[in-house]
Structure 1
Amino acid sequence: MLCTDNEELGTLDKVESHVTHIIADIIYKDTRVLEHMRSLKEETRFTIQSSRTKSSTKEKVDDNKKIDTKSDPNTYKLYFEWKCPSQFVKPHQTLALNRGEDEKILSVKVVVPDWFYNKLERYCLTLWKSGFWVRKGLGDACNRLIKPWLSRHVRSDLTATAQKEAVKTFTTNLEKYLLTEPIKNRTILGLDPGFRAGCKVGIINSNGEKLDACTIHPDLRQHKSFDPAAKQLKDLISKYGVELIGLGNGTACRETELWLKKHNLCDNVPIIIVPEQGASIYSISKEAQKEHPNMDPNLISALSIARRVLDPLGELIKVDPKNLGVGLYQHDIPPKMLETALDSAVEKVVSLVGVDINTASQAMLRRISGLNEGRAKKIIEYRQENSGFQSRAEIMKVPGIGKITFQQCAGFLTVLDSSEPLDTTIIHPESYKIAKSFAQKIGVNLKDLTKPHFPQIVESKVITINISQTSEELSTDVCTLELIINAFKQKKYEDNVITFCKPVYSVAVLNAEQLKEGTTLTGVVRNVVPFGCFVDCGVGDNGLIHRSNLGGNQTPKLGDRVAVTVISSPKPKKIQLRLDKILD
């Protein structure tokens, strides 16, 4: 009997279609089927396919209309006709596909093999007796429900794996980046170069406090014989006794470097190149406005560049992690994952080298155990009023820091010019007595603690001692004694610490337009990823050395100076480079 009153049930075909939908829904929601699908998913080898979307091929007709995508479609040219078994898809490929799909340039699908459907059908036939309706309902369920379910789960698994790898890459780079060697006890001039808006100048003292900030407008094209900006900068250098110039590596860096040399501004004041990723973003952040109320953000970025030289760790943690310029597709990683990775990296670095209380930023101090926003602010106020801390014990004089807080934070805060040598280490004041007894036992003088040869002497002395026995003799535990030994053995700056470099760029090449195949360049490694590394050669965009072009057993690390050769520069892709050698 047909229901003639209802148009949806007026024919046999319509009734059959509705019954099929109901059965498909029953099959899909059955817990036994779901469990079996999950099991089959783990055994199945899916294929990931991508192609270019039709919308991204349409040419922009009206100039007033904004393009729907953020990137040039040709950035994803490799994935226009691409397929790969899911088990062989690399993390960076997954993240590229996801970004291309989000920008509506790529269409991505998961191809499910017939094997999966056949296995699932055989299983469903064992659960229900009516073969005809099971096959019909399962066919409908596969098209409408199971295929999208599989696609979501396969893509989700690939994305989760890719994000973990991306966070790992980010953390590895970040830990090394945060360990950039600080340059202490100097008046530093930070220079944020630019063409139209001029060059922003920020000058800080040896404690990181602002001395001056202004904008100069140099003739970077060097058309004038006399440039007033050169005299202005020379006067600033003389007035404040500038001992070092930190030049940002962004737009107009090369031209500014040549301008400084032409006007003899760096004859007596050395120049170093400072990575400025994230400085502009930080300068307009709430953190920056709180630190420098009512100050021009452009000038804040120049001060930030100067502080990156004095205290890289304290300055870099102010920047949103995704804007630090290290890692793999870090803009596509959930912010919380990056924040957690940043916290982990900072904790590891602080535990390794400590934090110089005389230069640390408020953002850095509030991350230290026992300190918060209010206590960090009071430490900085005390530091400014008293021209810095002379010893760790002086921390107790800061209002709001009592005995308990001191116990929590003292081991992480170092005072580099203290009369107590142990104040320069990560050894807690509570362990000073043990550390001094141990130093006496192995026959070393703590006054030599900061000297280059001290770690080597300690290394040779501790080879012969029994840690467990010695810890008992000193009435301490093994962990405390090992921490003291590690602090004694730690070189002032370990081999894996990045050092700022003087300009290493090729003088003959100033921009990417001058590049051609076979051009040799020098540069600095700014980012290391699973498929190679990116090198700043001073031509604007960083060039890529693919791992296939690293040559032999050479593996550059973040901050390494390298000599490279251009092998191709297909726009809009990255400049392709081959590694020739790692420079000293």
Structure 2
Amino acid sequence: MLPSIEQRLALELAAKPVQVAAAIALLDEGATVPFIARYRKEATGGLDDIQLRLLEERLRYLRELEDRRATIVASIVEQGKMTPALMEAIAMAEDKTRLEDLYLPYKQKRRTKAQIAIEAGLAPLADALLADPALNPETEAGKFLREAFTTADGNNPGVADAKAALDGARQILMERFAEDAALLQSLREYVQEHGVVDSKVVEGKQDEGEKFADYFDYSENISTVPSHRALALLRGRREGVLDVTLRLDTELEKPKWDAPHNPCEGRIAAAAGIKNLGRPADKWLADTARWTWRVKSFMHLETELMGALREKAELDAINVFARNLKALLLAAPAGPRATMGLDPGLRTGVKVAVVDATGKVVDTAVIYPHQPRNDWDGSLHVLGALAAKHNVSLISIGNGTASRETDKLAQDLIKQRAELKLTKIVVSEAGASVYSASEFASRELPDMDVSLRGAVSIARRLQDPLAELVKIDPKSIGVGQYQHDVSQTQLARSLDAVVEDCVNAVGVDVNTASAPLLARVSGLSASVAQAIVSYRDLKGAFTSRAALKSVPRLGDKTFEQAAGFLRVMNGENPLDASAVHPESYPVVEKILADIKKDMKALIGDASLLKTLQPARYADEKFGVPTISDIIKELEKPGRDPRPEFTTATFKEGVEEIGDLRPDMILEGVVTNVAAFGAFVDIGVHQDGLVHISALSNTFVKDPHTVVKAGQVVRVKVLEVDAKRKRIALTMRLTDSAPQAGSKPEQRGDRTDGKRLAQHQNKQPAPMAGSMAAAFAKLKS
């Protein structure tokens, strides 16, 4: 028998079945991944959040597999066609593909040509010719002629002549061969290894589909097509620009019917015992094998394998999005400092919002420093007055249209008002407009014009990126790769998991958090989160975690899941500001009693805490892992896992793409990481691309191992194409820009799969051509 779900998951996770069983039980009880990872280490043997997320995903798949297995067994039993051998094969099927292969002959389907032929009594003819190729097909077929008749399933044309008889017999054998599970798997494996994806431009679509130019004449082995290329190909096909097909690597051109069997046709013939020995039925049988491949098996496999390519590409794209989102959410916060947010604009003006250290809006304005009004001095006066009035220390500038012009305005303000000690930072404004028009923004800022809400978001996301970005649908934050081409359900589930993990890793101040932020805390639903905010507004700030139990609909189970991730700063109990769960407070009291110290003397005393032996305080409920976590937390209660706040400094005088020159070294911020490289904002309104081959002096398989969204990096300009708005960058500062007119060694994605693989393995210095090709996969 197939191992149990627990055993299979244990093998995949390199864990013990008892760990997996405990994790599954907790998940089934409604526990969240952050809660299990942080507070149930004894039960799971220390499975971390990454392992638990994988377990959760695979558990969903395996349970769906078992449900499908049961449905298939019931269907075949109901048909009266179940055999011990078939039952064993179904029971041992390890994935959905194998399961569906076994079910194929028994699957309820529309009345096929083969079924009509069987009704007409042609199965014996098919069996006879297959069993004895020495028989003459035409002679045998003449024995099976029959007038048209009617069945319970509909009219049957009967068998008019020998040709009709042989056609019917062929349909029977074709369906039989095509539904042989073992043969189908053999063919699938061959095509996976030897299948080639071809792409040609649809005639007349060259100009319309220029962005797909790299795929107008493209071929690559299906097993090596990376996710970004697969999604680009499929989008091009969906938009009617590309004709994308699958073929065998041995068939550069469409094969003729009288050509020798290709490897797959040969496998079908071999499986059926068909050989060409010059006997009367040999050619008919050989043609039947060919028909099976071309009409049945290949069409089935092409649909399946292209679908699998799409699914894998979608999964890779979702993983890229998730990793970028995590980096962005866990970006360093500037902290509780009065901040001025500037949402740049030209004709419509620059929207200004000032928030205090807690993020509360204290002032707004609209200034018109740029064309057509050009009120530069007046704008400086307004900004200076606002900064002085509200003790502003940070200026947060959105990176959209007129960003560099507005950045220059801020620079002039800093020079004019040096006594204010202002610092300016350009931040991503992705999603700010979505937030501005959202239902939550209208509740949070009801009396504010929609255009000003974006400036508020820009200011707050500098103070605390996590707290502000959770208010926006993750799909609108702009760090995805082909995000509109993937399964939206799977994408949403993955991104929600990332947001949940990030929020709970940092912790949430229950007295300042918004409802959207609280809703991401382990165990809290949107309605309970809103209930907390409403209770807080009515009763005032919470003075303890225990006080949360008075919130309507926040029961014991919810409190258990959420309490450890909620912080009550300056409350009645110092532990309420830490990640120590209330259920573990007795452990701390036990430690205090043992060392004869009070809470204030223990918290933060690293030298004392390092002397404590976790095993000394462990018992049946709290083991060494939990005690170790508690001691670590007491050393620095409520520690923030996010990095220190740093900023990039854009080069003065480099404000437009036309200001860039080859070999120029600049500082920038990584805005997005894709499978083929990283996009970097260098302050010219257009992100540049650092190709994967230009990220490091050593081989890079995954760009995420080198850079992450929000990271400040130094780059060198390799090539600038102002007309197409493409900037090629390198992080290998010793690289030199290609000489004008030099011929690229490689056309990147325009090459075949073998050469591409060689290029990726060697990763030579990036050349203009490969960079240009990489731009074909710009983020969508």
Q: What is the TM-score when the length of structure 1 is the normalising length?
A: 0.82
Shift of 1:541: 2.0
Q: Find the counterpart in structure 2 of residue 100 from structure 1.
A: 236
Amino acid at match of 2:264: F
Q: Find the counterpart in structure 1 of residue 270 from structure 2.
A: 122
Amino acid at match of 2:268: L
Amino acid at match of 1:380: V
Report SS of the residue matched to 1:50: strand
Alpha carbons 1:171, 1:345 under 8 Å: kept: yes
2:576 corresponds to 1:423: yes
Q: What is the CA–CA distance in structure 1 between the aligned matches of 2:409 and 2:475, rounded to whole Å?
A: 32
Q: Find the counterpart in structure 2 of residue 576 from structure 1.
A: 728
**CA spacing shift, 1:256–1:172, aligned 2, 3 Å:** same
Q: What is the CA–CA distance in structure 2 between the aligned matches of 1:52 and 1:458, rounded to whole Å?
A: 71
Amino acid at match of 1:530: A
**CA spacing shift, 1:290–1:533, aligned 2, 3 Å:** same
Q: Find the counterpart in structure 2 of residue 406 from structure 1.
A: 559
Q: What is the CA–CA distance in structure 2 between the aligned matches of 1:459 and 1:329, rounded to whole Å?
A: 49
Q: Find the counterpart in structure 2 of residue 434 from structure 1.
A: 587
**CA spacing shift, 1:75–1:486, aligned 2, 3 Å:** farther
Q: Find the counterpart in structure 2 of residue 532 from structure 1.
A: 677
Report SS of the residue matched to 1:152: helix
Higher relative contact order by CA 8 Å / sep ≥ 6: 1 or 2?
A: 1
1:477 aligned to which of 606, 623, 637? 623
Q: Find the counterpart in structure 1 of residue 412 from structure 2.
A: 262
Q: Find the counterpart in structure 2 of residue 135 from structure 1.
A: 286
Alpha carbons 1:174, 1:345 under 8 Å: kept: yes
Shift of 1:426: 1.6
Q: What is the CA–CA distance in structure 2 between the aligned matches of 1:533 and 1:179, rounded to whole Å?
A: 18
Superposed CA offset, 1:438-483 (max 9, x none):
36767998548886xx6x6478446xx3x444313x9733343133
Alpha carbons 1:310, 1:359 under 8 Å: kept: no
Alpha carbons 1:535, 1:544 under 8 Å: kept: yes
Shift of 1:578: 0.9
Alpha carbons 1:46, 1:111 under 8 Å: kept: yes
Q: Find the counterpart in structure 2 of residue 546 from structure 1.
A: 691
2:379 corresponds to 1:216: no
Q: Find the counterpart in structure 2 of residue 231 from structure 1.
A: 381
Superposed CA offset, 1:347-370 (max 9, x none):
322342212223322112123344
* Within-5 A mapping of 1:172-571: 172-219=323-370, 223-224=374-375, 226-227=377-378, 229-264=379-414, 267=418, 268=420, 269-293=422-446, 295-384=448-537, 388-401=541-554, 405-418=558-571, 420-438=573-591, 447=600, 457=607, 460-461=610-611, 465=613, 467-472=614-619, 476-488=622-634, 497-552=642-697, 555-570=706-721
- Bigger Cα Rg: 2
Q: CA RMSD in A?
A: 3.8
Q: What is the CA–CA distance in structure 2 between the aligned matches of 1:396 and 1:135, rounded to whole Å?
A: 77
Report SS of the residue matched to 1:528: strand
Q: What is the CA–CA distance in structure 1 between the aligned matches of 2:247 and 2:505, rounded to whole Å?
A: 48
Moved more, 296-305 or 22-31: 22-31
Q: What is the CA–CA distance in structure 1 between the aligned matches of 2:290 and 2:597, rounded to whole Å?
A: 80
**CA spacing shift, 1:213–1:223, aligned 2, 3 Å:** closer
Q: What is the CA–CA distance in structure 1 between the aligned matches of 2:680 and 2:596, rounded to whole Å?
A: 46
Amino acid at match of 1:515: L
Q: How many residues are treated as equivalent by the alignment?
A: 554
Alpha carbons 2:274, 2:282 under 8 Å: kept: no
Report SS of the residue matched to 1:510: coil
Report SS of the residue matched to 1:406: helix
Q: What is the CA–CA distance in structure 2 between the aligned matches of 1:326 and 1:539, rounded to whole Å?
A: 19
Report SS of the residue matched to 1:104: coil
**CA spacing shift, 1:501–1:149, aligned 2, 3 Å:** same
Shift of 1:222: 9.1
Alpha carbons 2:670, 2:679 under 8 Å: kept: yes
**CA spacing shift, 1:297–1:145, aligned 2, 3 Å:** farther
Shift of 1:566: 0.9
Q: What is the CA–CA distance in structure 2 between the aligned matches of 1:142 and 1:175, rounded to whole Å?
A: 46
Report SS of the residue matched to 2:197: strand
Alpha carbons 1:248, 1:275 under 8 Å: kept: yes
Moved more, 254-263 or 324-333: 324-333
Residue identity (%): 32
Structure 2: stretches of 5+ with no match in the other structure:
1-141, 149-156, 251-261, 699-704, 735-780
Amino acid at match of 2:653: A
Q: What is the CA–CA distance in structure 2 between the aligned matches of 1:34 and 1:543, rounded to whole Å?
A: 50
Moved more, 306-315 or 286-295: 286-295
Q: What is the CA–CA distance in structure 1 between the aligned matches of 2:382 and 2:531, rounded to whole Å?
A: 36
**CA spacing shift, 1:423–1:4, aligned 2, 3 Å:** closer
Report SS of the residue matched to 2:479: coil
Q: What is the CA–CA distance in structure 2 between the aligned matches of 1:535 and 1:443, rounded to whole Å?
A: 55
Shift of 1:97: 1.6
Report SS of the residue matched to 2:223: helix
Structure 1: stretches of 5+ with no match in the other structure:
59-66, 68-72
Alpha carbons 1:173, 1:558 under 8 Å: kept: yes
1:57 aligned to which of 192, 200, 206? 206
